Copies of this chain bind each other. A is one copy, B any other.
Amino acid sequence: MSIRELAQHLNISIGTVSRALNGRSDVNPETRKRVFEAAAKFGYVPNQSGRSLRQGTTNAIGFMIEMNSETSLHGDTFFMSVFAGVQSVFKAHHLDLVVLLCPFDDDPYEHLRRVVSRRFVDGLFISATQRHDQRIDYLIEREIPFMALGRSLSGGSHPWIDLDFEGVATAAVDRLVARGHRRIGLVKPASELNLGYVFAEAYHAALVRHGIRPDPDLVVRADQTSEEGGYGAMGRLLALDERPSAVMLVNEIMAIGAYRRLHDAGLQAGRDVAVIGFRQSPQARFLSPTLTCFDVSLFDLGCRLATGLLATMPAYRDLYPVGLVQDIWPMTLVPGESDPPLLV
């Protein structure tokens, strides 16, 4: 059922049908009514390809996420909540959110170029930003509206929202120091994710502020951002001559492996070694003893991501006068049993 057939049934021109359906003002209310009724009757919905071709817009926004080993193996509980928030904003504008999975053996940059060049979407969210991220330079050059989940050194004035890793790292160090710890280990994530750097720098600064000399040996990098990675990293920390009394983990999945590594060494998290995880997650929620970590309101984050993106798109800019969004998203401490005061 095309617009042509619909127009023939109504004995009017296709131009009028199109104007009626698109809410143009120069159409008789009576005929508009007839058009809508006929469209409903025949189940007519405009062909998106034709419409896109004509007006150069697809009414779809992509959210690109990478299926790295972490995501594909453990599944991902993070994005679903964010998507819900994004959609709650898009709903009002008849924008569709489509999730674009970058296969784990594909180059994210190449994948992005393909999607953009094919003009599949009007705008994009990208996540897992690297410290230097080709994708951002590319999107800016091509003038594609986008919003980055995560900071980066690349690009300049593009919109982004990043979780408050700095605040989290600082709060974690402060809390551990207040509880008597002075040898505090840090496990960084495996990849070149920007968050690893932000986290490490804040950790370093907090230690210095407390008059503690940072020990490079206490900062280890996980082989992979996974349970196994946490297991291995904790193992290396335990092997130090002078092992830490507390360990901070930049990924909560790794906490599971860390717990297990401690257990295998005859130690126990929260008794022999204090542990602080990062983001509260369903998977780490049932660890025993409960993990001290940080909570983030993912639905609200999704809403803010959406409005921040729309604010950069000419067609929606006036509806969202929020300016350039470059937010640090706050997280709140969820105290657990895994980091009690140090017994002397």
Q: How far is the CA of A87 from the CA of B66 in the complex (A)?
A: 12
Within 8 Å by CB of A118, from B46, B75, B91, B99, lies: B46
The answer on a CB contact under 8 Å between A101 and B118 is: no
Residues of B within 8 A of A115 (CB): 96
Given A49-B58, A283-B282, does the pair A84, B104 have CB atoms closer than 8 Å?
A: yes
Chain B residues with CB under 8 A of A75 = 75-81, 282
Interface string of A268-307 (1 = CB under 8 A from B): 0000000000000011111110000000000100000000
Query: A299: which B residues are within 8 A, CB to CB?
Result: 72
Mark each residue of chain A from 80 to 104: 1 if its CB lies under 8 Å from any CB of chain B, else 0: 1101100110010000111111011
Q: Does A153 contact B (CB under 8 A)?
A: no
What is the CA–CA distance of A58 and B256 in the complex, to the nearest angstrom? Answer: 43
**Copies of the chain in the assembly:** 2
User: Are A87 and B74 CB-contacts (below 8 A) given A45-B118, A49-B119, A99-B101?
Assistant: no
Asked whether A48 lies within 8 Å of B120 as measured between CB atoms, the reply is yes
A127 to chain B, nearest CB (A): 14
Separation of A44 and B113 alpha carbons in the complex (Å): 10
Of A43, A84, A285, chain B has the most CB atoms within 10 Å of the CB of A84
Having A49-B119, A75-B76, A288-B288, one finds 18 other A-B pairs with CB under 8 Å, namely A45-B118, A46-B118, A49-B52, A49-B58, A50-B53, A67-B80, A67-B84, A72-B84, A84-B101, A87-B101, A87-B103, A96-B115, A98-B98, A99-B100, A99-B101, A282-B283, A283-B286, A286-B286
A-B residue pairs in contact (CB < 8 Å), sample of 22? A45-B114, A45-B117, A45-B118, A47-B53, A48-B118, A49-B53, A75-B78, A75-B79, A75-B81, A75-B282, A76-B76, A84-B101, A84-B103, A87-B101, A96-B100, A96-B115, A97-B101, A98-B99, A99-B99, A99-B100, A286-B287, A288-B288
